Amino acid sequence: MNVFISGGCKNGKSGFAQDIAVKLSANRPRYYVATMVPYDDEDRKRIALHISDRANLGFTTLETARDISSCLTKAEKNGTFLIDSVTALLLNEMFPDTHSGNADEHALQRCIDGLLKITENAENAVFVSDYIYSDAIRYDTFTENYRKSLAAIDKALAKACDTVIELCAGNVIFHKGRIEL
């Protein structure tokens, strides 16, 4: 089963996704595919919180900041993969050299291909993404390209997944499929 979860930033998606991954995995292996590369103290605190939240839940962490489908070669495919987050993955793929400021024009397709490979090959996968592309503000070209690319990835995942869930102000909204919580 493939589950896609989206919602606002820092809205409880990771904890919610962990609960779903634990439920889906039963007694099979659980993998937390960590995509965030820490750039500052706030990032490091967020990572520490996520590590603490999943302590004693039986997850093996697979640090996979780029080339997301490579996580399949590091784990048993009959396990459950929690990919957290698609948002960070895109950032890493678009800007592998953070100092140059130049976006990799192939990042979008690489992300879509890698994520869809997981949906096709893993027993279970839970994908977490931030819903950052709906406000009415017009941003610079750099930011708009990132937001447009994330929306395209989320659309591809929503199409490929059995269940699509939005978390909004503490509410769980099913847009496709169902899963017992």
Decide if pLDDT at 32 tops 90: yes
Decide if pLDDT at 135 tops 70: yes
155-169 pLDDT, tens per residue?
999 999 999 999 998
Residue located via tokens 């930011």: 143
Does some domain include residue 63?
A: yes
pLDDT number for residue 75: 96
Q: Which two tokens stand for residue 166?
A: 């939005």
Within 8 A by CB and 6+ apart from 144, the residues are: 138
Question: Is the pTM of the predicted complex or chain greater than 0.85?
Answer: yes
Residue type, 72: L
- Could you tell me how far CA 25 lies from the centroid of its own chain? 17
Does some domain include residue 181?
A: no
Q: How many domains are there within the chain?
A: 1
Evaluated on CA atoms 19, 61, 85, 125, the torsion sign reads negative
pLDDT number for residue 99: 66
The CATH number that applies at residue 148 is: 3.40.50.300
Does some domain include residue 126?
A: yes
Phi first, then psi: give them for residue 142, nearest 5 degrees: -55, -50
> Which residue range forms the structural domain that includes residue 47?
2-176
pLDDT number for residue 12: 85
Q: How confident is the model at residue 150 (pLDDT cuts 50, 70, 90)?
A: very high
